Amino acid sequence: MGFSYKNQILHAESVAITDLMKAYGSPLYVYSRTDIENNWREFDQAFGAHPHLVCYAVKANSNLAVLNVLAKLGSGFDIVSIGELERVLAAGGKAGQCVFSGVAKTVIEIERALEVGVRCFNVESASELSRIEAVARSVGKQAPISIRVNPNVDAKTHPYISTGLKENKFGVDMSDALNLYQQAQNSKYLNVQGLDCHIGSQITEVAPFLDALDKVLLLLEQLKDKGIDITHLDLGGGVGIDYEGEQTIDIKAYVDAIISKVGLTEIILEPGRAIVGNAGIFVTKVEFLKQNSEHSFAIVDGAMNDLLRPSFYNAYHQVLPINEKNTTGVQAQWDLVGPICETGDFLAKNRALPLSEGDYLALMSAGAYGFTMSSNYNTRPRVAEVMVANATHQLVRKRETVAELFTHEHVWHTPTKETI
Contacts of 126 (CB under 8 A, 6+ apart): 172, 176, 180, 183
Give me the torsion for CA of 231, 252, 58, 273, rounded to 10°. Answer: 140
The CA distances from residue 350 to 2, 295, 353, 419, in Å, are: 26, 9, 9, 60
Query: Does residue 98 carry a catalytic annotation?
Result: no
* Whole-number Å distance between alpha carbons of 364 and 320: 7
Report which secondary-structure segment, H or E, holds 14. Answer: none
Q: Which of 57, 68, 61 is nearest to 94 (CA)?
A: 68
CB of 154 within 8 A of CB of 162?
yes
Three-class SS of residue 329? coil
What backbone torsions phi and psi does residue 108 show, to the nearest 5 degrees?
-60, -40
Q: Which of 152, 90, 85 is nearest to 119 (CA)?
A: 85
Contacts of 68 (CB under 8 A, 6+ apart): 91, 92
Length of the chain: 420
* Whole-number Å distance between alpha carbons of 341 and 336: 14
Three-class SS of residue 80? coil
What backbone torsions phi and psi does residue 74 show, to the nearest 5 degrees?
95, 15
Q: Which amino acid is at 216?
A: V
Catalytically annotated residue among 55, 120, 197, 341 = 341
Exposure string for 338-360, b = 16+ CB within 10 A, e = fewer: bbbeeeebbbbeebebbbeeebb
* Whole-number Å distance between alpha carbons of 200 and 352: 32
Neighbouring C-alpha atoms within 13 Å toward the C-beta of 102 = 20
Active site residues: 341
